[in-house]
């Protein structure tokens, strides 16, 4: 696997410094991934200053930063206490470190140094789709019908690439508005592959633990743990309803009857 660093942030070529860091890290998995030093990331984010914080995930904070090369990046830190986060950290590297597509967020590199586990992505100027749809009305983002249609098509292209063109195929498992990021031109990019699963060509389904977000889970997956690529398609359908309606699928809010979005549609 290989990961482009766009202009060359400092890269740790010493396998030992990466391998010494975390129990359970597979050295082979990190062999060809760019290692950006902790010192550079600390400098890039002004020592992870709160003014550079642009989001918070389930297992850590996300900061905006500028590498020495001048490239702007999103720096996702991982809580050292999170075992599930550690699994997702490794899964993300395994899944997308060598994947490139206009509608997928690009993983630039990682930091595995001391107790630090950090993923470094391309920076997307307009943050997440859920903020554009459901955030403060003070935002400057205006999503007319043409733009909403273009966002749906872009997400569909990204999913088609994951499901049909990549070998092995990838099932994302957590398609939702907060995992769709928007660049400066409001082009959508699918991000957060921590729960993703690889699907070899000869496999039609996988029996696995249920993971994802309530409100987006396909019924057959949520009830039986049978994962297919159709699980992503179902989640995408829910997301389309959110994009069309401007409503959150996970919070009851329809007409005084406190119905969920899917209940209202059905």
DSSP-based helix, strand, coil % in the chain, nearest 5 = 30, 20, 45
Other CB atoms within a 10 A radius of the CB of residue 165 amount to 9
Cβ 31 vs Cβ 98: under 8 Å: no
Q: Is 259 exposed, middle or buried (0-12, 13-18, 19+ CB in 10 A)?
A: middle
Q: What's the rounded Cα separation, in Å, for the pair 266 and 264? A: 6
Helix (H, G, I), strand (E, B) or coil at 229: coil
61 is catalytic: no
Contacts for 150 with CB less than 8 Å, ≥ 6 apart: 186, 187
Backbone angles phi, psi at 226, to 5 degrees: -90, 105
Please tell me which residue in 26, 28, 46, 174 is annotated as part of the active site.
174
Cβ 37 vs Cβ 12: under 8 Å: yes
76 is in an annotated binding site: yes
Q: What's the rounded Cα separation, in Å, for the pair 245 and 247? A: 5
Active site residues: 174
Numbered residues of the known binding site for ATP: 76
Numbered residues of the known binding site: 76
């Amino acid at each position: 696997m290989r990961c482009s660093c766009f202009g060359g942030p400092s890269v740790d070529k010493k396998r030992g410094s990466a391998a010494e860091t975390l129990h359970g890290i597979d050295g082979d998995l990190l062999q060809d991934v760019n290692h950006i030093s902790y010192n550079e990331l600390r400098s890039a984010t002004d020592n992870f200053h709160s003014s550079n914080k642009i989001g918070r995930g389930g297992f850590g904070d996300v900061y905006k930063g500028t590498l020495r090369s001048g490239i702007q990046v999103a720096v996702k830190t991982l809580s050292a206490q999170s075992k599930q986060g550690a699994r997702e950290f490794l899964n993300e590297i395994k899944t997308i470190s060598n994947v490139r597509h206009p509608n997928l967020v690009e993983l630039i590199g990682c930091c595995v140094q001391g107790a630090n586990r950090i993923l470094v992505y391309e920076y997307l100027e307009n943050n997440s789709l859920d903020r554009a749809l459901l955030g403060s009305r003070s935002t400057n983002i205006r999503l007319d019908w043409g733009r909403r249609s273009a966002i749906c098509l872009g997400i569909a292209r990204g999913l088609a690439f994951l499901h049909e063109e990549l070998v092995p195929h990838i099932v994302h498992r957590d398609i939702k508005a907060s995992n769709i990021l928007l660049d400066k031109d409001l082009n959508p990019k699918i991000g957060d592959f921590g729960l993703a699963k690889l699907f070899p060509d000869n496999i039609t389904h996988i029996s696995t633990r249920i993971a994802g977000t309530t409100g987006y889970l396909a019924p057959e997956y949520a009830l039986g743990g049978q994962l297919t690529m159709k699980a992503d398609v179902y989640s995408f359908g829910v997301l389309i309803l959110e994009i069309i309606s401007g409503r959150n699928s996970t919070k009851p809010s329809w007409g005084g009857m406190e119905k969920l979005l899917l209940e209202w549609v059905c």
